[in-house]
Structure 1
Amino acid sequence: MPYPFVLPTTSAFSFSSSCTCDSHPSLPLQASTHRGVVRDALKKHKRLPPASQAPSLRTVTAALQNYLPYLFAIDAGLSNKTIHSDEVMITLKTNPQMEWRPTLSSNVLLGRELPRIKVHSLEHELFFALSTLATTHTLQSRVALQPLYQTTTAPVGTAQRQTAISTATRHLLDAASIYDYLCARSNESLTTPNAPSWPCADISPSTLRALRSLALAEATLLAVLKDDPYPAAVAQARNPHDTEWMYKAPDIPKVRAHLFARLCLAAAEHAAQAAAGFSSSNSSSPLGKGVGAGGGISEGLVRYVADLRRASRARACRFFGIDAELGGETGAGIAWLRAGLAELGVERKGEDGHRERGGFRGLRKEWSERREDKKVERGRDWGADGGRLEETRVIEMLEAKWTKQNDTMLTQPIPPTTSLLAQMPSGREIHTIKPFHPPMLSPDVLEAMRAPPDRADEVDDYPTSDEETTVGSVPGAFPGSSAGLKSGTPGYF
């Protein structure tokens, strides 16, 4: 958590090839220059190994933030809007010819990268650029949260934990704000006559609404995680580098259990809305209509949203159980925990009078936990289960503890879980999405672009993002040997 998105890549493009600006002749050249920086940053990020991609996210974010004001200036000129009371006169000569590689769409040909899609609208260029910026915010929230889940180093302190969660929450709310703006803008585009159709599912209105709900669900869960001591206690018990257990037990302060439960239910509702949005994107997929962009949203993202909803409801059950246990109703608390396990789809041992033969259940569980720990350590695809594994660990720990207490001292009856689930209240919101304000060029920068461009706006023959820089195409060759072969000089044995 959050979802491990993949950043898209794009082709080279010259704005002067499709538009001119009579009032600010240098605007198309400056926009092309900054777009080239974005393209280069995305290409370099893609080629980095997963463990090295985290530092480059700031570079990608800065490149996008520097490019967007110029793109919004061109958009304002095409929409007959002013910037700082200054009119920008843009004339569109031809439809733009640019390409973006979708990363949310499912791949029809498994094992092969999705082909790029052609974009013939500056409106869709704006949507791709903004959605990519929102994706970088989501990935930066993952970078902030990664130290909390590592078991190969000493556990982080309370202050560091609070700072990491606050930073991740801020990034997720920034992403939700961008998606909210895109949703509102897509609604306006639907009412525009002769508006171009959406080129792929990545920027369709239903997908943008789903991504907004997903970011809001993840931010709501982080508000709970900030004051939830149980995941940290479970992680602390599993960390071999932790030595605090030698002189004190983990601190489990009392929590506002009922409030946290309602927040988790709100997160589950947002996750359900995201699932509905992705389902709508899949039903209106352009597959079979001549668009080689895949067949709707990828199964991994759809499965993550479903797991996130189940984990959120299970966490709500856990907090209802904690609230009951704090009130002296241990039997009801155990029933709530079992309801949480049922939400997660976890079968309890001996629940139906059977045990899995050979202890394979425990071996599979241990193997999956070790695999997830390695993913966290390598920084690749961790948390793709929507938090189900983490919540399962916490609930099973509490169930074993409370069941032992109830069997030896309290002997309270355990009510059926169905009656408890019917008593669930509605969710409670904690975050409000702030409006996204499009970045605008400063008056000084806008005035400087009234001068004619100092060079031609031409796209060089750069290699595409598919092409990797290879060294030595001849087996056994030294670096630079291919150039030597072309020039006739020996470069290999």
Structure 2
Amino acid sequence: MPFQFVLPTTSSFSFSSSFTSESHPSLPLNASTHRGVVRDALKKFKRLPVSSQAQTLPSIISKVNAYLPYVFAIDAGLGRASQQGEEINVVLTSTPAMEWRPTISGNIVPGREIPRTKIQSLEYDLIFTLSALGYAHTLLARASLHPLYVTSGALVSTQERTTAITTATKHLLDAASIHDYLARRTEALLAPSPCVDISQSTTRAMASLALAEATLLAVLKDDPYPAVVAQDRNENDREWMYKAPDIPKVRAHLFARLCLAAADHAAQASSLCQQIRGNGASKVNDELLRYLEDFRMTSRARACRFFGIDAELSGQTGNALGWLRCGLQELGFEPREAKKGLSLSRMRKDWSERREDRKVEKGTNWGSDAGKLEETRVIEMLETKWTKANDTMMTQAIPSTATLLSSLPSGRDIHTIKSYQPPELTRQSLESMRALPDRADDYGGEQPSSDDDERTATKTPVGAYPGTPDNYRGESSRSYY
């Protein structure tokens, strides 16, 4: 967690080919220039290895934020609105034509890239751009949290852990704000969206998901148990030789209700995505749907764990163990003593844990289970400890899971989604664009419409001789991005 989105890519587009402005003649040219910068940044980001992408995310966010005031100005000019006290007049001269490659739609042919979607509206181009910005904020939150899950290096200090979680929470709330704005904006659209990625249900679901992830981070910041489990698995840790890990008391009941709120938001997001019926590209991809369901299960299991901690602090060890069994049931696992001897599910779980650890170390596609394995480790650690105490000292009866789950309270929210404010150009920028453009708006005009098919034509492809004609370059010259 958070979900590893893929940033969409787009084709080149010249605003002057479809828009003119009498009040600010240079506005279309400047918009084309900044859009071209965003396009190039998204292409370069896509071609980087996954482990190297995180360091370029701040640059992408900065470039998108620099482009948005221009496209919002054109959008305002179409309605003869004003910015900074200046009226903007923009006229549509022809239907715009650009392309975007969806990233969360289902794939018609498994293993192959989703085809590009043709966009003939500035509105949908703006929605795609803002969606990319929201995904970039989520990916930056992932990058901030990654050091907390690495067990091969030095332990993260308490201050560094708090800083990482606070930074990730800020980025997730920014993403939620952007997606919420898009959901409200798409409600006013009468025509159906050209693809699932920018539909009203999807944007609302992404806002709920980002809010759910931010809510669960509010719990993680003061939850000592995942850090204790990670410390126990860290091969470089030597602290166990001279002191036991510090486990401060937590506000267990409050944290449990926060987890239930996160589960409710994830369930809402999952329901919205599943409402989109269809096959292939006309539905949300299965990977995102699985993540939403895993996130809901993890949040409910964590809530059960905190109810168990609250019971154990009150001396009710039997109830505490019952809540831990509720947590394992929510995760889809069985208690250790439920099966004797070898268990296929237990072997499969151990293999999944090792595979997830390798993903974390490599920094590729980690957390795709929304934290299920991590939460299972914490619950099993507490179950072993409390079972020993209950068998030797307390000897209390363990209530059934059905009885405990029927007493779950409602969730409690801690965050609210702030309203996203569309950026505006400064007065100085608007005044400078009253002059006529100093060059032709032909950015990308001679380039292919593909968002990522550009290759250097002077390079000789592998397997071809230098004298091979340009119209025959072999299979190696094709782009599979």
Which TM-score bucket, shorter chain as reference? Answer: over 0.9
Q: SS where residue 273 of structure 1 aligns? A: helix
Question: Pairwise mapping of residues 204-215 of structure 1 onto structure 2 (< 5 A)?
Answer: 204-215=199-210
**Cα offset, 1:364, TM superposition:** 2.7
**Cα offset, 1:365, TM superposition:** 2.7
Write the deviation string for residues 302-347 of structure 1: whole angstroms up to 9, x where unpaired.
0100010010000000000000000000000000000000000002
Give the whole-Å Cα distance in 2 for the aligned partners of 1:196 and 1:60.
30
Write the deviation string for residues 18-65 of structure 1: whole angstroms up to 9, x where unpaired.
110111000000000000000000000000001110111112111100
Give the whole-Å Cα distance in 2 for the aligned partners of 1:43 and 1:53.
12
Give the whole-Å Cα distance in 2 for the aligned partners of 1:11 and 1:266.
40
Which deviates more, 368-377 or 313-322?
368-377
Aligned identity (percent) is: 60
Instruction: Determine the structure 2 residue equivalent to 1:326.
Output: 313
For these two proteins, the number of residue pairs brought into alignment is 466
Write the deviation string for residues 246-276 of structure 1: whole angstroms up to 9, x where unpaired.
1111110000000000000000000011011
Instruction: Determine the structure 1 residue equivalent to 2:72.
Output: 72
Correspondent of 1:269 among 264, 269, 274: 264
Give the whole-Å Cα distance in 2 for the aligned partners of 1:393 and 1:469.
47
Instruction: Determine the structure 1 residue equivalent to 2:165.
Output: 165
Is 1:197 the equivalent of 2:192?
yes
Give the whole-Å Cα distance in 1 for the aligned partners of 2:347 and 2:404.
32
Instruction: Determine the structure 2 residue equivalent to 1:290.
Output: none
**Cα offset, 1:366, TM superposition:** 2.8
Is 1:300 the equivalent of 2:284?
no
2:358 maps to amino acid: K
Q: SS where residue 9 of structure 2 aligns? A: coil
Q: 2:14–2:445: 8 Å Cα contact kept in structure 1?
A: no
Give the whole-Å Cα distance in 2 for the aligned partners of 1:173 and 1:466.
30
Question: Pairwise mapping of residues 35-184 of structure 1 onto structure 2 (< 5 A)?
Answer: 35-184=35-184
Instruction: Determine the structure 1 residue equivalent to 2:477.
Output: none
**Cα offset, 1:183, TM superposition:** 1.4
Q: 2:252–2:309: 8 Å Cα contact kept in structure 1?
A: yes
Give the whole-Å Cα distance in 1 for the aligned partners of 2:169 and 2:71.
28
**Cα offset, 1:350, TM superposition:** 3.6
Correspondent of 2:419 among 431, 435, 438: 435
- The normalised TM-score by structure 1 is 0.92
Correspondent of 1:467 among 453, 458, 472: 453
Is 1:426 the equivalent of 2:410?
yes
Write the deviation string for residues 195-233 of structure 1: whole angstroms up to 9, x where unpaired.
432010101000011000000000000000000000000
**Cα offset, 1:362, TM superposition:** 4.4
Instruction: Determine the structure 1 residue equivalent to 2:332.
Output: 345
**Cα offset, 1:151, TM superposition:** 1.1
Is 1:27 the equivalent of 2:27?
yes
1:168 maps to amino acid: A
Is 1:317 the equivalent of 2:320?
no
**Cα offset, 1:360, TM superposition:** 4.4
Q: SS where residue 152 of structure 1 aligns? A: coil
**Cα offset, 1:80, TM superposition:** 2.2
Q: SS where residue 55 of structure 1 aligns? A: helix
Is 1:216 the equivalent of 2:197?
no
Give the whole-Å Cα distance in 2 for the aligned partners of 1:465 and 1:53.
18
Q: SS where residue 118 of structure 1 aligns? A: strand
Give the whole-Å Cα distance in 2 for the aligned partners of 1:91 and 1:447.
19
2:453 maps to amino acid: E
Is 1:238 the equivalent of 2:233?
yes
Correspondent of 2:274 among 276, 279, 283: 279
**Cα offset, 1:79, TM superposition:** 2.0
**Cα offset, 1:370, TM superposition:** 1.6
Give the whole-Å Cα distance in 1 for the aligned partners of 2:202 and 2:40.
26
Give the whole-Å Cα distance in 2 for the aligned partners of 1:355 and 1:72.
64
Q: SS where residue 336 of structure 2 aligns? A: coil
Give the whole-Å Cα distance in 2 for the aligned partners of 1:157 and 1:462.
50
Q: Residues 300 and 474 of structure 1: is their aligned pair in 2 closer, same or farther, counting only changes over 3 Å?
A: closer
Is 1:227 the equivalent of 2:222?
yes
**Cα offset, 1:419, TM superposition:** 1.0
Q: SS where residue 369 of structure 2 aligns? A: coil
Give the whole-Å Cα distance in 1 for the aligned partners of 2:55 and 2:451.
20
- 5+ unaligned residues in a row in structure 2: which ranges? 471-481
Q: 2:140–2:171: 8 Å Cα contact kept in structure 1?
A: yes
Q: SS where residue 315 of structure 1 aligns? A: helix
2:419 maps to amino acid: P
Give the whole-Å Cα distance in 2 for the aligned partners of 1:112 and 1:98.
22
**Cα offset, 1:16, TM superposition:** 0.6
Instruction: Determine the structure 2 residue equivalent to 1:259.
Output: 254
Write the deviation string for residues 54-92 of structure 1: whole angstroms up to 9, x where unpaired.
111112111100100000000000122111121111110
Give the whole-Å Cα distance in 2 for the aligned partners of 1:474 and 1:145.
40
Instruction: Determine the structure 1 residue equivalent to 2:428.
Output: 444
**Cα offset, 1:242, TM superposition:** 1.2
- The normalised TM-score by structure 2 is 0.94
Is 1:367 the equivalent of 2:355?
no
Write the deviation string for residues 69-125 of structure 1: whole angstroms up to 9, x where unpaired.
000000000122111121111110111100000001010111110010000010001
**Cα offset, 1:188, TM superposition:** 2.4
2:36 maps to amino acid: G
Question: Pairwise mapping of residues 373-452 of structure 1 onto structure 2 (< 5 A)?
Answer: 373-452=357-436
**Cα offset, 1:10, TM superposition:** 0.2
**Cα offset, 1:467, TM superposition:** 2.6
Give the whole-Å Cα distance in 2 for the aligned partners of 1:437 and 1:447.
22
Which deviates more, 466-475 or 305-314?
466-475
